[in-house]
Structures are given as structure tokens and as C-alpha cells.
Amino acid sequence: MPSLRTALLQSSGRPGDVSENLKALDEAAGRAAAAGARLLVCPEMFLTGYAIGDDVPKLAEPADGPGARAVAEIAVRHGIAVHYGYPERAGDLIHNSAQLIGPDGERLANYRKTHLFGCFEQQWFTPGDTAVVQAELDGIRIGLLICYDVEFPENVRAHALAGTDLLLVPTAQMHPFQFVAESLVPVRAFESQMYIAYVNRSGPEGEFEFVGLSSLASPDGAVRTRAGRGEELVVGDVDPALLAASRENNPYLRDRRPGLYRSLV
């Protein structure tokens, strides 16, 4: 099975301006496809911006809303799958969500963030209640989480037990928590034997300072590609052969003793 070339778009776009963010996404999708990528991963809330405050209700849209249709057109135009974050309106509720659109424009998966971080998110969003959401792309089983979710080892281990090969984690990781990007994410990839694409916003936005440092971490604990602190598009390969060899050599999942962990739930 060939590798899945994955592009990580580190950018905050233009907060509050969906049309400009779609233009940036279109341009990045073109560059990613030209580099041979089959998947483009964008940061948390990329469609609208993260620090949009009281505009959350105004900018939120259904999973099949106009933003999703525009992203689908971009995916088809460039022949690349696109994963992006957005505020999702579901009836009277609003979720912090991420959606994966296939290269044919079809929606493959939609995930609602289950662990909300800080006062801003808890004020505007309702947490999702589905822990493991997955899709298939080019023979790779892809799982979805968002930002703070990956900081709970139970979440990532649940994906490991469900067979996730590549975990997509759009994030809005801010100062002074850059150790998550630098240290925690590669450890999560190693301990649960999967690739993790951790894709951050960058620079100042409202009261926040996003630290960048987007990365593709592999199951051997290595970081296959990493961005700096500014806007950047980086590309890395998800190699099924490396994944299979690492899983064969690493005994964590085989040596688990679930009967001892019942107190965790």
C-alpha cells in the first residue's frame, strides 16, 4: 500500500472572514496537490477563525452548509481530501467541529469536540458525545479529534483500539502550552501506535497567541515534519509499512491488561 502524503496548513487565516479563509484554503489545496498530497489538514475553527467572540452564533452553520459546499468544490477542483474546523450549528446547539471532505467532494466524517477548553469554548459550544469518529482514505483508517481532546490519553487509546492509523487533530494551541506540540503529541503517537497530524493556528488572535509548531508524528515517536511559528504549509508521508513494523515491534497494545483498569471508567 502506498504512503498517504499529508499536507498540514498552519495558518490563522482571517478571523471572522469566511470568504477570505476559503480563498486561503483553495490556494493551499493547490500547493498541497502539486506536492503530491492526497490530504490537506487545516487548524481548529479555520473556516471562521477561533477568536470570534460574539460572532460564533452568526458564523455557525450546519454540517452541510455553504462553507461545507465551498470546501467540497475546492476538494474536487484539486483532487485532494480536505479536513477543516468550523463552528457547527445543530438545531439550537453549536459545536466546535471538524469535517473531512473526500477528494470527490463527499463528506467522509464530521466530529464534534468532546472536551471543551477554557471559558470561551464553554460559553459558546456544546461538547460532542461521540468519542471515536473514523473514515477511510486510500486504505488508511483516519480518526478525528480536536485540540484539547488529544491531551486526554483515554481518547487516543480509544482510537488505537478502534484501529485508527492516522489521527487528525486540528488545534488552536496557545502560549504557554507549546510543550503539548513539542512533547506530548509524539508520545501519544508512540504509546498508541499511530500517526498523528497536529495542525495549529499561528500568531496573535484576539487575546490569544498561537504557537504554531504543527507536526506529523509517527508511531516510532519521531516527528516526520514540523512547521515553525509562522504561517506555513508542510508535507509528510503516512507510511503503512512503517506503521505495520512499529506495531509489530511495540507491545503496548498487546500487553494491556484491561481488567485492571476498570476504575478508570
The catalytic residues are 44, 113, 147
Kindly report the three-state secondary structure assignment for every residue of 131-159. Answer: CCCEEEECCEEEEECCHHHHHCHHHHHHH
Structural element, H or E, at residue 234: strand 232-238
The DSSP string of 192-231 is: HTSEEEEE--EEEETTEEEE---EEE-TTS-EEEE--SSS
CA dihedral 10, 185, 169, 233 (to 10 degrees): 20
Give the separation between CA 32 and CA 61, rounded to whole angstroms. Answer: 26
Give the separation between CA 189 and CA 186, rounded to whole angstroms. Answer: 5
Q: Of 38, 31, 32, nearest to 3 (Cα)?
A: 38
Spatial contact of 148 and 180, defined as CB atoms under 8 Å apart: no
Q: Of 38, 3, 55, nearest to 18 (Cα)?
A: 55
C-alpha cell at 20: 477570505
Q: Of 56, 30, 24, nearest to 42 (Cα)?
A: 24
